[in-house]
Structures are given as C-alpha cells and as structure tokens.
Amino acid sequence: MQQILGRGYQIHPDALKLLEARGEEQALALLESFTATYPAAIVIEARQVEALLENTKVQEAHVNPDEFTATLTGRITQIYDGTGLIQRCPTCNRWIIDNFCMVHSDVAGIWDLRIKARFEGTDERCTLIFKRDMTENVARVTLEEAKRLGDAVMLERIRYAVTGKLFAVEGVKLKGGNFLVKNIREM
C-alpha cells in the first residue's frame, strides 16, 4: 500500500481499508479510474470508492493526463500557512501539526514539502497547491536540504522564489477554488 500512499492522494481511512481489501494491483487500477471519475476531488472518500466498485469493473485504465488540465497566467500574491516543510500522517497522508492527526491522533509524522499560495490570474483567482516535486523544483532545494535549513529559512526561500512574479501555471482544477500545479514557468 506504500505505492498508493506515495502517489500523494489524501485518502480517508475508510476508503483506504476498501482499497487495501482489493490488493495493491486492483487498488492502483481503481485509483486510475478514480481520477477519471472524480477529477476535482481533494480527498478520496469511502463512498466514492464504493460507487466505483459498484458501477465499474476495475480494468487497466490509462487516463490521458491532459484531459483535466488547464493553464493559468498570473502572479502569486500570498503564501498560506502550511507552506514549506510540513509533516504528514503516515496512514492517511493528511497534514499534521505537532505529531497530531485529526483522524489517527498521535502519530510519528513523515516529512514533506509543499506550497499553498494565492494566485491572481488574468481571468481567475485560486489557491495553488504544489506537491513535493514541484516545491523542490521551484525552491531549488531537496527535502533533505530543507530539513537541514529548517522551517523559517524554507518559508523565506519559497516566498523569495515565487511571490510577485508572473507565471504560466499548468495543472488540474480542483474543487473549492484550488489548482494542483503540474508545471510552472516564469514569464
């Protein structure tokens, strides 16, 4: 199941149990089907997994990653809390504070990097979400280097790298005005 959690999904514990019961190969195929059926979902919920299991036969599905992508042009105007060096729950992948998960209580967190930022585009305003690989790319730092630098230095480094600059951002529109960044280019 590490391969499933390593994909960066936020999975509700009940949904994770359903996926684990299918075995890793079928669970991964179900996740491919999930992204096609629920492209804007932020957290994979048990009811969504159950609906997929009832209504579809899980097959080797290959989703065209460009189907739900969009490109935005604009500036990052603000960096939100939860940016930089963070810890995640090892079970559900949620962001945790002080080794406390809302679902699993006291846990030993797993280090991660992310950026949450306010984006003011020519046609749209939204919250950009950068996963670890994009954060490392933008901040020009690895997770290991970030842990050595510490929270405050990482946050300042990210602010310097992105705030106020004009960008073309490619990614996936999510519910609630969020946008998952897949590629970013300074203009």
Q: How many domains does the chain have?
A: 2
pLDDT of 93 higher than 50: yes
Q: Are residues 88 and 140 in the same domain?
A: yes
Q: Are residues 78 and 164 in the same domain?
A: yes
Domain of residue 102, residue span: 69-186
User: What digits encode the pLDDT tens for the residues 103-119?
Assistant: 788 888 889 999 999 99
pLDDT of 148 higher than 90: yes
* Residue 142 located in a structural domain: yes
Q: What's the CA gap between 29 and 86, in Å, rounded?
A: 29
Q: Are residues 158 and 134 in the same domain?
A: yes
Q: Are residues 167 and 80 in the same domain?
A: yes
CA-closest candidate to residue 109, choices 95, 123, 128, 119 = 95
* Residue 60 located in a structural domain: no
User: What digits encode the pLDDT tens for the residues 169-180?
Assistant: 999 887 677 889
* Residue 109 located in a structural domain: yes
* Residue 64 located in a structural domain: no
Q: Are residues 43 and 86 in the same domain?
A: no
Q: Are residues 108 and 176 in the same domain?
A: yes
Q: What's the CA gap between 10 and 52, in Å, rounded?
A: 17
Q: Are residues 147 and 174 in the same domain?
A: yes
* Residue 62 located in a structural domain: no
Distance of alpha carbon 82 from the chain centroid: 12
Q: Are strands 84-88 and 110-121 parallel, antiparallel or unpaired?
A: antiparallel
Indicate whether this model's pTM tops 0.85.
no
* Residue 87 located in a structural domain: yes
